Amino acid sequence: MHRPLRPLVLCALAAALASACTGKHAVGDGSDGPQRGSLPQSGANQLLSIDKRIPAPDIHGETLDGQQLDIGSLKGKVVVVNFWASWCAPCRAESASLVRVAKDTAPLGVTFVGVDFKDTRSSARRFVEVHDVPYPSLFDQPGVVLTRLHKLVPQYPPSTIVLDRNSRIAALFVGAVTDAQLSESVHALARET
């Protein structure tokens, strides 16, 4: 099967940028600290204080299984949104961590949603099956969902945002996330009232 060069180049660039993240710059504008429409970059755990959180934009679409899913309908829950693609090596590497944290935090009412980016449906379904992913993923082949977050999240996978119970972006992970990084933020948000 022929794999497009562009996604592979983007994935390599994502890995390089993620390893260079310092946690001090805002995504998209190069300034120090968060502003409306931007978040601090983070290759490591960074839970934003409540006053620095911004509302999540509209994230909805069709899942890999053909169902409609609107993340706005999950208000009141902590929601982890992971942007991934089957062709992305760092996405494959982080998959086991996401699955473990999703299973561990499900009893706390935490919901996970994937957003499959610039992929084929068959490759994405195979990825979900091989990695035993227990949560739904939006199928974002044209990149529309990710474009809605263009000033908030890097436009390449993997990236993960965590929404608090008020549908505000409370944490951002650029690049592959580990169990410890994600679990710490998710548990802290689950304890918030």
Q: pLDDT by residue (tens digit) across 141-165? A: 888 887 777 767 767 789 999 999 9
Q: What is the CATH number of domain 5-191?
A: 3.40.30.10
- Grouping H, G, I as helix, E, B as strand and the rest as coil, residue 80 is strand
- Would you say the pTM of this structure is higher than 0.85? no
Residue-averaged pLDDT of the chain = 79
Q: So where are the chain's domains?
A: 5-191
Residue ranges in 35-155 assigned as alpha helix (H) = 89-105, 121-130, 144-148
The answer on pLDDT for 22 being more than 50 is: no
The answer on pLDDT for 37 being more than 70 is: no
Quick: pLDDT tens for 183-193.
999 999 999 87
Average pLDDT over residues 11-30: 33
